[in-house]
Structure 1
Amino acid sequence: MEKLPKIAFPIIIGAIVLIVLLTKSAVTIGSGQAGVLFKTFGEGVVIDEPALGEGFHIVAPWNKVFIYEVRQQEMLEKMNVLSSNGLDIKLEASIWFQPNFVDLGKLHQEKSEMYVERVLLPAIRSAARSVVGRYTPEQLYSSKRDAIQQEIFEETKKIVEPQYIQLNEVLVRDVTLPSTIKDAIERKLKQEQESLEYEFRLVTASKEAEKVIIEAEGKAESNRILSASLTDKILQDKGIDATMKLAESPNSKVIVIGSGDSGLPIILGNQ
């Protein structure tokens, strides 16, 4: 067996070292992710350069890359808060968020990968307590849910945006009141609905009565006008017209001229 040349050993050792260095230096960042570079022998976290995007990267083996999810994420949070009159309310909300890609280095430097626990959660809880505390249980249960949702979103956004977190939406999924309060509110709402229905029926009946009165008054006025316009002369002319039509009828009859009331003819027989 032939011995390897002396120069082969350094080459093999060099190749092994190179492979190790490449393995340590190669960083693959997946879809929807970004990397923050930390320079061990430099300035530390790189904040004045864009974060590393998706794909394959080569970095110095003594440096580190911290990978963040930069797509929109959802967090479901259940909270106990107090209404304006001190009642315990259970609130369930979905929070849609993502780290600000442009300031990812600053986020890592100041908040670390635990930014959700350190910033976002305290902010959403504080905003929810503040907003819900302005409303009564009746408002929370019925008409004000959309307003509450928007106010929680706006207050949370004011807190987290300066801290490099992009808040996209806050959705209030459920508001749970104490069962006794919920039952009382439902009874009250039912009574209000029944009262509104009764008032509607009264208004409808009143309008129908007004309609009947107007129609009756119209008919009475029409009859009054007609009676006032029917003079003796008009009645006599109409009687003569009717007599002429009957006289032209083929049926046998006897007509006595000028012997009826007001001088109208009398027609005898219609055989």
Structure 2
Amino acid sequence: MILFIILGVILLIVSFTLKDNVSNPLSKFSTILRTVGLVVIGLGIFSSMFKQINAGQVGVKSLYGKVHSEVLESGLHIVNPLLDITTFNTQTQNYTMSAIHDEGERQGDDAIRVLSNDGLEVVIDLTVLYRVSPNDTPKILKTIGEDYSNKIVRPVTRTRIRDNAVYYDAVALYSTKRGEFQQRIFKTIEADFKSRGLILEQLLIRNINLPNSVKKTIESKINAEQDAQKMTFVLQKEKQEAERKRVEAQGIADYQQIISSGLTDKQLQYEQIKAQKEIATSNNSKIIFMNGKNSPVILSDK
């Protein structure tokens, strides 16, 4: 658009120059050049009246430094050719601060280093999910500019995390209080973002690194707890096995007590006779009576 206008002005200048120089054989084309220049300028002005705002963006109008409060939504708009239109991305954006090289927005180690309540240095990797409030884009353009990620998102996030980390011990941040800490910093950062025209969607604490000495202490504690739990399980199992054996022995003893108290000589003799009768009826045995008092001798054919 601007190029059309510049090209048209150049053609007009050339046409007037040729018109004044009658001796130049190209002077007869001055009228044509003038006409073409005017047409090109007209096309440039006409095309600059149309402004397309892409999906997920809004446009903010400004004229000679004065920012208009009206916001252009996505679509095609007819505007004053003299207006300057600044587009803002209103989709979800992320800003990552990580200790891993080439993973965050900045090269090198960009993790957040904070001091916990017990004076230990904790390294936090964090991702901020946020978006621009469309209605607040004129205010953002006037007060912050287009580089709001480095002017607001980064410093506010890092400051608020450091401010809130001092309320927690290093081990608590690493384990039991991690969710509470994330919710706490979310609320404070959300309030700061809102006052600046930004909407905080989510804070993702990707990793919390503790000093090596603290890591070893935690690992030793976890191993000791696991060993204690394992020993408790073994003792409980042995106790159950001992209880089972005691119940089994008590049952056998009770059974023997019942048998011994209930059997008489007559009953034993009767059971013996029944057994001998069953053996005598077998085809594979022979009975020899030695005398009348003793029991018969049973011989097997096999």
Unpaired stretches in structure 1, ≥5 consecutive residues: 261-265
- Percentage of matched positions with identical amino acids: 27
Query: Does 1 or 2 have the higher relative contact order (CA < 8 Å, sep 6+)?
Result: 1
Deviations 1:199-240 (A, max 9, x none): 322222222222222222223223333333334443333223
Classify the secondary structure of the residue corresponding to 2:72.
Answer: coil
Q: Which residue of 1 aligns with 2:235?
A: 202
> Closer, same or farther in 2 for the Cα pair 1:185/1:11, shift >3 Å?
same
The 5 Å alignment of 1:23-172 reads 24-40=48-64, 44-47=66-69, 49=70, 51-77=71-97, 78-172=111-205
Which residue is equivalent to 1:182?
215
How many Å separate the matches in 2 of 1:245 and 1:179? 82
1:159 and 1:257 mapped to 2: Cα distance?
Answer: 116
| Structure 2 partner of 1:263 | none
1:228 to 236, 261, 264: 261
Q: Structure 1 residues 162-171 or 102-111, which shifts more?
A: 102-111
Q: CA deviation at 1:5?
A: 10
How far apart in 2 are the matches of 1:208 and 1:156? 58
Question: 2: CA distance between counterparts of 1:162 and 1:232?
Answer: 104
The structure-2 alpha-carbon separation of the partners of 1:128 and 1:234, relative to structure 1 and needing over 3 Å to count, comes to farther
Q: Aligned partners of 1:16 and 1:249: how far apart in 2?
A: 129
1-structure distance, mates of 2:189, 2:253: 71
What is the deviation of 1:39?
A: 4.3
| Deviation of the 1:158 alpha carbon | 3.2
Residue type at the aligned position of 1:128: I
The 1:118/1:258 distance shift into structure 2, 3 A limit, reads farther
Q: Distance in 1 between matches of 2:124 and 2:157?
A: 11
1:45 alignment partner AA: V
| Separation in structure 2 between the aligned mates of residue 19 and residue 268 of structure 1, nearest angstrom | 135
TM-score normalised by structure 1 residue count: 0.78
- Counterpart of 1:268? 297
Q: CA deviation at 1:37?
A: 1.6
Greater mean alpha carbon deviation, residues 166-175 or residues 118-127: 118-127
Are 2:280 and 2:286, in contact at CA under 8 Å, matched by a contact in 1? no
Which runs of structure 2 are paired with 1:209-248 in the superposition (5 Å)? 209-248=242-281
1:94 CA drift (Å) = 0.9
CA separation of 1:3 and 1:196: change in aligned 2, threshold 3 A = same
The secondary structure found in structure 1 opposite 2:202 is strand
Sort the Cα spacing of 1:246 and 1:17 in 2 relative to 1 into closer, same or farther, 3 A: closer
How far does residue 242 in structure 1 lie from its aligned partner after superposition? Answer: 1.6
1:123: Cα distance to partner? Answer: 3.0
How far, CA to CA, are the matches of 1:210 and 1:119 in structure 2?
A: 68
User: How far apart are 1:20 and its partner, in Å?
Assistant: 3.6
1:182 Cα offset (Å): 2.4
**Counterpart in the other structure of 2:8:** none
Aligned-CA RMSD value = 3.2
- Cα distance in 1 for residues equivalent to 2:222 and 2:122: 19
Q: What secondary structure, in the 3-state scheme, does the structure 2 residue paired with 1:161 have?
A: helix
TM-score (norm 2): 0.72
Q: Which stretches in structure 2 are left out of the alignment for 5+ residues?
A: 1-24, 98-110
